[in-house]
Structure 1
């Protein structure tokens, strides 16, 4: 796969997972379910009102509980424009099926960051995301300016720079694998314990780095994977810093109405 696909896939997987971690009590669907399947499984609307080309589309995050959705795109002008267009299409499709009750709107106030730690003192990579306007989450990959043995030191330094294309080509596969392993492992543990995800919100900042490893280390047996060995990467969730206090844009009227065919 091209490195762009590795990095985009890793970003979507992590951001969607972290949304579920932040809202463990909500009914949420990710981009493995079509709008048609979501409507039929939840009974929130009548899927027969979908247009022929809408049955197979996949919103990135559909929050059934709050009746909101998000489209995830890279952090640049083109990403914003594409995200805005996709969000409008998804909202128009979903709301066309709802005959009674609250309609869907673009989600707001979802932001965060995670760090990727490589073995043998590589740079620390960071994935940051913010809701730039209702329904559109933009993400950006950066790395520490210096090499750090500790992700805590990199986080404290707070100095991030763009990642060179040759680095993305070299390490993109590692990042994607580390993310997939981490998310899959924690989803399995969540099914076993019913409590995974609450840890990130309930412990102090200093413990956030090591607590997941402690939980995984206490569990053993067939089917339970251990943290990745040296040579790969480890994903470290961190609390998001408060974003700039800029008021979000209003949802355009077109986001609440069917698009012209």
Structure 2
């Protein structure tokens, strides 16, 4: 979602949109040129104005390898079917972070992402320990620690809903007592 916000004037398609719709709505060419199976594929981020694509994966070697392979497959399939002047490439320069504060002063989670190679954006969750009466900015300056898997499993879906709600201007999800600090707040 952050990419869409940063590039709000571009035609940006997220992972809910398949290659057939991306080809058609992004004015890249005739979607019928894609094979039936390829039409259904859904890259994580495709910007048809900037002609770039990103795959988002966890920040580890396996995620990096999987992202590279998927981005390569999507780019090959698209570039075989698009108009000659509409060839896409792996996107670069997409990085940032945001924070989620649970229980208004409880756990402070950080989601950060970077694009170490064209088309592959890697993300990582970390957190800061509870520090009573400290602002979120003071807590953000604390040493980051790896977020325990149990806590990710326990609160991960709630965190995703809270982030989507913040970007889309929606309500907080039921059960989320805290704040979301988007990248604009983190500067």
Same fold by TM-score greater than 0.5: yes
Aligned match of 1:95 in 66, 75, 79? 79
Query: In the alignment, what sits opposite 1:237?
Result: 182
Aligned match of 2:136 in 126, 151, 154? 151
Relative distance call for 1:35 and 1:232 in structure 2 (3 A) is same
Structure (1/2) with the larger strand percentage: 2
Query: In the alignment, what sits opposite 1:40?
Result: 24
Question: Post-superposition shift, 1:20?
Answer: 1.4
Instruction: Tell me, in whole angstroms, the C-alpha distance in 2 between the residues paired with 1:54 and 1:240.
Output: 39
What TM-score does the superposition give when structure 1 sets the normalisation length? 0.65
Question: Post-superposition shift, 1:230?
Answer: 8.0
Relative distance call for 1:121 and 1:241 in structure 2 (3 A) is closer
Aligned match of 1:64 in 39, 45, 48? 48
Query: In the alignment, what sits opposite 1:51?
Result: 35
Q: SS in structure 2 opposite 1:73?
A: strand
Instruction: Tell me, in whole angstroms, the C-alpha distance in 2 between the residues paired with 1:241 and 1:121.
Output: 17
Query: In the alignment, what sits opposite 1:161?
Result: 145
Give CA deviations for 1:87-121 in whole Å, capped at 9, x if unaligned. 01110111111233131000000000000011242
Instruction: Tell me, in whole angstroms, the C-alpha distance in 2 between the residues paired with 1:231 and 1:28.
Output: 29
> Which stretches in structure 1 are left out of the alignment for 5+ residues?
1-16, 187-224, 243-261
Q: SS in structure 1 opposite 2:169?
A: helix
Instruction: Tell me, in whole angstroms, the C-alpha distance in 2 between the residues paired with 1:92 and 1:73.
Output: 19
Q: Which structure ranks higher in relative contact order (CA pairs < 8 Å, sequence separation ≥ 6)?
A: 1
What TM-score does the superposition give when structure 2 sets the normalisation length? 0.89
Instruction: Tell me, in whole angstroms, the C-alpha distance in 1 between the residues paired with 2:35 and 2:175.
Output: 50
Instruction: Tell me, in whole angstroms, the C-alpha distance in 1 between the residues paired with 2:186 and 2:122.
Output: 16
Aligned match of 1:137 in 115, 121, 130? 121
Instruction: Tell me, in whole angstroms, the C-alpha distance in 2 between the residues paired with 1:240 and 1:234.
Output: 11
1:127 aligns with 2:111: yes
Instruction: Tell me, in whole angstroms, the C-alpha distance in 2 between the residues paired with 1:158 and 1:51.
Output: 50
Relative distance call for 1:102 and 1:230 in structure 2 (3 A) is closer
Instruction: Tell me, in whole angstroms, the C-alpha distance in 2 between the residues paired with 1:180 and 1:107.
Output: 23
Instruction: Return the index of the structure with the highest Cα Rg.
Output: 1
Structure (1/2) with the larger helix percentage: 1
Question: Post-superposition shift, 1:164?
Answer: 1.2
Question: Post-superposition shift, 1:50?
Answer: 1.2
Aligned pair count reads 186
